[in-house]
Amino acid sequence: MADKFDVIVIGAGPGGYVAAIRAAQMGLKTACVEKWISKEGKVVFGGTCLNVGCIPSKALLEASHKFVEAKHDFDDMGIQAGDVQVDVKKMIARKDKIVKNLTGGIAGLFKANGVTGIEGTGKVTGSQQVEVTDQNGKASTYEADSIIIAAGSVPVEIPPTPLTDDIIVDSAGALEFTETPKRLGVIGAGVIGLELGSVWSRLGAEVTVLEAMDSFLPMVDGAIAKETQKLLKKQGLDIKLGARVTGSEVKDGEVTVKYSDGDNDHEMTFDKLIVCVGRKPYTQGVVGDGVGVETDERGFIQVDDQCRTSVPSVYAIGDCVRGPMLAHKASEEGIMAADIIAGHKAEMNYDAIPSVIYTFPEVAWVGMTEQDAKAKGIEVKTGTFPFAASGRAMANNATEGQAKIIADAETDRVLGLHIVGQHAGEMIAQGVIALEFGSSAEDLALTCYAHPTMSEAVHEAALAVEGHAIHMANRKKKK
């Protein structure tokens, strides 16, 4: 039997490493188990988010957007950039360097906070026992008073498009292209599909997105989703809704995809195909038989509102439990679980978790959509403000999009904030804070915003809820 700990965390992604650091800060002897292997063959921390998810994709999104700006937008600003070229290999190398710096940074944070990193695959074998198998197959057993499962998720694969080494790839593979494909297919018009499609479209690929659903971004407010679809189409993304993929054939270095739109069958040929149809919890083999941790039919570990499983000493957080698969949601759950284990009161407001799509412009939302409110029988009032009327947006050459506030018609309480526009991912924090503190639309309307800023659009949207926007003509409100 190896060392005994107060807490062992399985998984060092954004949920697991944060949970481990927090537990150590609370004075608990903590270990964190991780099996992720880097390109150099070493175990690294950070999980999907840092290694093949949030961070590397944003590095490519930012680089590709700057290329588009230099090629198409600088001239309007009086900047002569000349013949702008792309070095995809250098762009990928920069992405890899950022990943290496951040994953190494977590190792440094573990050391600074006294967290013991354990390399290998973790498995809960008892209510207070974890077995870790290293790369060589050697198993060691550790004891802990409490266990936090933060095993994360993996991409969903579909039978019609089995992955290959380099032609049909998942989201991780799409971050490793060494040159821009001429014809790129993307299956799935969700967050990941739109982001990766945007990257390679900006770099010169002809991108077709095949989405099985008939609606575009159904989780986003209808007006925001409609405008987003229009803007992405304008940028060159060919988004085909109601397109159900039925098969594929890889031949002569390209892939032919078969799909049905309900009325007819179609075929399209691509140089590369990215499969982005969602993610599933990585829980198979994480908990041993007989431990008593319950999962549902989809493999999610069942937990209560404070992430306790059916076994009192075992908690589970992040992508392997209910709720949106978001890094920041996992991090907050990790902090909550660690605090509870340390004997403190802690809770999380699941109604105030923001989401962001890092296209350009960005799409961000938190709280209810109008369709959500209608389904719940809540009468609402709304206020919107277009960035086309924003001085800062004009200066930034970023006038596309709008901010929209949804408030309870009776109480004026903010129910949701939805934005499509430059820096929407930064501005959405205003909505999160408003929801967290139960703010009214009037509270935001009476708040002093710096000028000129993109955030003023939120201020104006709040004013518009009662028909009092200053920098646009107001629609008459029903009395």
> What CATH number should be reported for the domain holding residue 139?
3.50.50.60
Indicate if 451 belongs to the active site. Answer: yes
Contact criterion met (CB below 8 Å) for 435 and 414: yes
Span 451-462, pLDDT tens digits: 999 999 999 999
Q: How far is CA 101 from CA 37, 45, 116, in A?
A: 15, 11, 20
Confidence band, pLDDT 50/70/90 cuts, at residue 476? confident
In a domain, 270, yes or no: yes
Who's near 158: CB < 8 A, 6+ residues apart? 187, 245, 275, 277
* One domain for residues 150 and 19: yes
Cβ neighbours of 135 (radius 10 Å): 13
In a domain, 160, yes or no: no
Cis preceding-peptide flag for 452 (omega within 30 of 0): yes
Confidence band, pLDDT 50/70/90 cuts, at residue 477? low
Higher-confidence residue of 110 and 81: namely 110
In a domain, 269, yes or no: yes
User: For 92-97, what is the mean pLDDT?
Assistant: 97
Final residue of a structural domain among 237, 259, 277: 277
CATH number, domain of 408, equals 3.30.390.30
Range of the domain at 70: 4-155+280-348
Span 289-298, pLDDT tens digits: 999 999 999 9
Q: Per-residue pLDDT for 110 more than 90?
A: yes
Report the amino acid identity of residue 384.
Answer: T
* One domain for residues 22 and 86: yes
Confidence band, pLDDT 50/70/90 cuts, at residue 275? very high
- In this prediction the pTM is 0.96
* One domain for residues 312 and 431: no
Taking the CA atoms of residue 215, residue 217, residue 221 and residue 223 in that order, the dihedral angle to the nearest 10 degrees is: -60
Of the chain, the percentage scoring pLDDT greater than 90 comes to 97
Strands 139-149 and 314-316: parallel
Confidence band, pLDDT 50/70/90 cuts, at residue 475? confident
* One domain for residues 337 and 368: no
Final residue of a structural domain among 348, 376, 398: 348
Distance CA 51, CA 23 (A): 23
**Active-site position among 72, 266, 344, 451:** 451
Final residue of a structural domain among 223, 242, 277: 277
- What local confidence, expressed as pLDDT, does residue 197 receive? 98
Confidence band, pLDDT 50/70/90 cuts, at residue 165? confident
Chain mean pLDDT for the chain:
97
Q: Could you give the number of structural domains in the chain?
A: 3
Distance CA 242, CA 472 (A): 37
- What local confidence, expressed as pLDDT, does residue 479 receive? 53
- 307 Rama sector, left if φ>0, alpha if ψ -120 to 50, beta otherwise: left
Q: Per-residue pLDDT for 1 more than 60?
A: no
